[in-house]
Structure 1
Amino acid sequence: VAAAVAAAAGVAGRQMNQRLSGVLDSRRRVTIPAVADRAAPIPPGVDIEVPGATSFITPNPIFYRIDTALQVPRLTTEDWRLRIHGMVDREVTLTWDQLLRRTPLERRITLTCVSNEVGGDLAGNATWIGFPMADLLDEVGVQGDADMLLSTSVDGFTVGTPVEVLRDGRDAMLAVAMNGEPLPLEHGFPVRQVVPGLYGYVSATKWVVDWELTRFDRAQAYWTKRGWGARGPIKTASRIDVPAAFAPVPVGRVLIAGTAWAQHRGIEKVEVRVDEGPWQTATLAPEYSLDTWRQWTWQWDAPEGVHNVQVRATDLDGNVQVEERTPPIPDGATGWHGRTITVR
């Protein structure tokens, strides 16, 4: 029995290695499509370049990821298909070659995970190249009463996205490249969804292979079945990046710096306060776009002692970041981020 189990494990291991090798080879052969509709250049000052602070663009190796499968799905471009069906006028199955014959665009978009705690790091900003989702929806003819796109990953994970969001002019895309290279395997190679303004659990399907046009009152996706909200707009948030918590700093002028986001609405103002004193307006880095996070700095004349520094943001719709602390479930955490800083 032991010998049979060992032999079976060896065969399975070889098959897995062969599969991985095939996927890596497929990724090496990918040529990123030439893009005429390029992302705007990053102006000076958008990245504050403060040591320890978040960089404006998040490198692929440290971009956050949340998976539901124990093993990263392995899918080649040759095997990839996207079936579009359900409440549509014309069912379509799209191959990789057919996708690449479409007109691509390049955009910088910040993604955020709904499970991000206040002050957490489950957010990242990248340069994406992909193909507009709205064009595909228009071509298949979405029926008038369909209000959900139920997308499915090759591993069976499902996501429900509001149709109106995908057709309101934002740069929702089927992405094939991330920060100048084909999608990494762990970020959805060969094709994933990127939708500005929505938490990933209702928008950012990786390894996507199926679109069903349906209704929210007829279908539930993976996380909504587990008690999470159905539509998932990203909440206005901010965090302190430097100094680090409890880090000792010298008496005198201290630079406080961090990041704020309200994707697809944009950040209007960031305020900082110390020891529950009056709110002080921070200096915002230039805005790149409404769909990316925005960095900020604030100079503090720090007296000796242990102090609590808090931050809050206001978006361009006038929404002030919610003070009350709530957990991520069902639709994203709220609360002001704070840091305890020792001055001596």
Structure 2
Amino acid sequence: MTRSWLAAAAGIAAVLLGLGAGGVVAGILARAFSPLTVVGAAIIDLTPGGLKEAVIHVFGEHDKTFLLTLITVLVVVLAALAGVLELRRPWLGRTIILVGGAIGVAAAITRGDATSLAIVPSVVTGIVGAWVLAFLVRRMPPERDPRVGIAPTRRSFLTWAAATAAIGVVATLGGELLTRTAAAAANARAAFRLPRPRTAIAPPPAAASLDVPGITPLITANGDFYRTDTELTIPQLDPAKWSLKVHGMVERPFTLDWSELTALPMEEHYVTLACVSNEVGGDLISTAKWLGYPVRLLLERAGVTGDADMVFSSSFDGWTAATPLSALNDPGRAALLAIGMNGEPLPFVHGFPARLVVPGLYGYVSATKWVTDLEVTRFADRTSYWTKQGWAEKGPVKIESRIDVPRAGRRVKPGRVWVAGVAWDQHVGISKVEVQVDNGPWHEAELARELAADTWVQWRWPWEASAGNHHLTVRATSATGELQTSTYAQPVPNGASGWDSVSVSVAS
């Protein structure tokens, strides 16, 4: 093993220990600010919208895993480079590590939830990593005689490097454990019991679900509910420290704390939420029973003034969404400050302790998780997170339909085959779904009973399948008579459109 390879190993070991030390400090003092987390979040924020959309399209809900893998590979490469440079030009390698720590500091202080301790984990990572790199490089053996095996000095160095890397890995895991087991939030959620709603909603009637194997369930289990957000580490907020500020163009600004919110008369509603990144036929859409307090009543309490037309909502970390005031004030729309999901407190991944749920609008303009601020303002005066990156200012959900069964590319037997799926036109409803086989006539499908205008509806059609390869297409018509467009559009800038279709093979 050449000295360059040994130096690269020293760099990797030093950075591992530095990250481990920073992770432990983050777990103790500032759990939302571990160096990799803040740098990863900054990368997400700085990535152009088109590139983000491409990553979501390819990796779906695994986009965070892809980013973490990419960051890890980059860190390993730079750490190895730092080790080699430190061997050849002392201080150059340490400078790279210190610059990495400085990048973490910059990423930390630009977060909306930055505290006075936010920079400490990155500072510790930079200093520890640089010091350990110098320590290990100084203990590297001289060039060995190729006729001699591993010399004691070389063996000693490898022992030091391996021990350093191992401690770094253990410290990193320990820091992650400290972060994930921060007791206050987890214990508070576990102990919290949802208040009884003022008017409980009835369970879904049997007629709202169709008995077709493989069709999407009417209500999505919390663990299966789609997730898209900009967080690498799931926030765990202590509700005792949570509050919601309502201000801006209002007569009576106020701040609502957790005890006040949970004492308000709650409502239950079935609502489908959809991500604007959802492709035609995609699965970034789900339905749940939500418990919360109507946002329009919060705005009524505040007393909206002037020519306000938007509510600018902010997450705990500064992520923002711009929601049309008209949608939030609509008494016929279940726009909620939600605290419950399918009969349990919001899962952390879906916004505990509180989030916005606004049917009929894509999540990027309405579904703020971990919400802490509502500012009544105007679209002309404020621009939200995704709008800055090229997405449309307002995001009404488009009428769409999807084929769940049979799956694309599947082989089925001749005879009766159920073609089934879901369709939606939130806050409007669906009146008809039709299925086409190859280029033949359109056949009207059977609709399940509508659960609510703000949810999707299941549909099915019995197909007498004949041998051969076939192409199935679906389209929907809204309750107001609007036919779903066949014109294909990508998600950017205001949601995908087009008819979903699948190809299947029929053979005995």
The aligned counterpart of 1:51 is 213
Q: Distance in 2 between matches of 1:153 and 1:24?
A: 19
Q: Which among 196, 211, 221 is matched to residue 374 of structure 2?
A: 211
The aligned counterpart of 1:118 is 280
Q: Does 1:226 align with 2:389?
A: yes
In the TM superposition, residue 89 of structure 1 has moved relative to its aligned partner by 0.5
Q: Deviations over 1:41-78 (max 9, x none)?
A: 31112111321110000000010010112222221111
The aligned counterpart of 1:192 is 355
Q: Deviations over 1:66-118 (max 9, x none)?
A: 01122222211111110111111111011000111211001111111111000
Q: Distance in 2 between matches of 1:37 and 1:151?
A: 27
- Letter matched to residue 67 of structure 1: D
The aligned counterpart of 1:268 is 431
Q: Residues 163-312 of structure 1: matches in 2 within 5 Å?
A: 163-169=325-331, 170-312=333-475
- Letter matched to residue 350 of structure 2: H
- Letter matched to residue 462 of structure 2: Q
Q: Distance in 1 between matches of 2:182 and 2:312?
A: 28
Q: Distance in 2 between matches of 1:12 and 1:113?
A: 32
In the TM superposition, residue 20 of structure 1 has moved relative to its aligned partner by 3.1
Higher helix share: 2
User: What SS class does the counterpart of residue 45 from structure 1 fall into?
Assistant: helix
Mark the CA change 1:4 to 1:278 in structure 2 (over 3 Å): closer, same or farther: closer
The aligned counterpart of 2:257 is 95
Report if the CA contact (8 A) 2:324-2:394 is conserved.
yes
User: What SS class does the counterpart of residue 78 from structure 1 fall into?
Assistant: helix
Report if the CA contact (8 A) 1:202-1:231 is conserved.
yes
Q: Which among 1, 6, 9 is matched to residue 23 of structure 2?
A: 9
- Letter matched to residue 409 of structure 2: F
Q: Percent identity?
A: 50
Report if the CA contact (8 A) 1:254-1:302 is conserved.
yes
Mark the CA change 1:7 to 1:289 in structure 2 (over 3 Å): closer, same or farther: closer
- Letter matched to residue 203 of structure 2: P
Higher strand share: 1
The aligned counterpart of 2:316 is 154
Q: Residues 317-336 of structure 1: matches in 2 within 5 Å?
A: 317-336=480-499
Q: Which has the higher contact order (CA 8 A, sep 6+)?
A: 1
In the TM superposition, residue 6 of structure 1 has moved relative to its aligned partner by 4.5
Q: Deviations over 1:310-337 (max 9, x none)?
A: 0000001111111011100111100000
Q: Distance in 1 between matches of 2:436 and 2:20?
A: 62
The aligned counterpart of 2:200 is 38
Q: Which among 224, 237, 253 is matched to residue 75 of structure 1?
A: 237
User: What SS class does the counterpart of residue 21 from structure 2 fall into?
Assistant: helix
Which range moves more in the overlay, 34-43 or 13-22?
Answer: 13-22
Q: Distance in 2 between matches of 1:60 and 1:287?
A: 21
Mark the CA change 1:4 to 1:320 in structure 2 (over 3 Å): closer, same or farther: closer
Q: Distance in 1 between matches of 2:237 and 2:304?
A: 28
Mark the CA change 1:115 to 1:4 in structure 2 (over 3 Å): closer, same or farther: closer
TM-score, normalisation: structure 2: 0.66
User: What SS class does the counterpart of residue 207 from structure 2 fall into?
Assistant: coil
Which 5+ residue runs of structure 2 have no aligned equivalent?
1-10, 32-177
Q: Distance in 2 between matches of 1:228 and 1:93?
A: 31
Superposition RMSD on alpha carbons, in Å?
A: 1.4
Q: Deviations over 1:194-251 (max 9, x none)?
A: 1111111111100000011110011110011111111111100000000111111111
Mark the CA change 1:176 to 1:278 in structure 2 (over 3 Å): closer, same or farther: same
- Letter matched to residue 221 of structure 1: S
Count of paired positions: 344
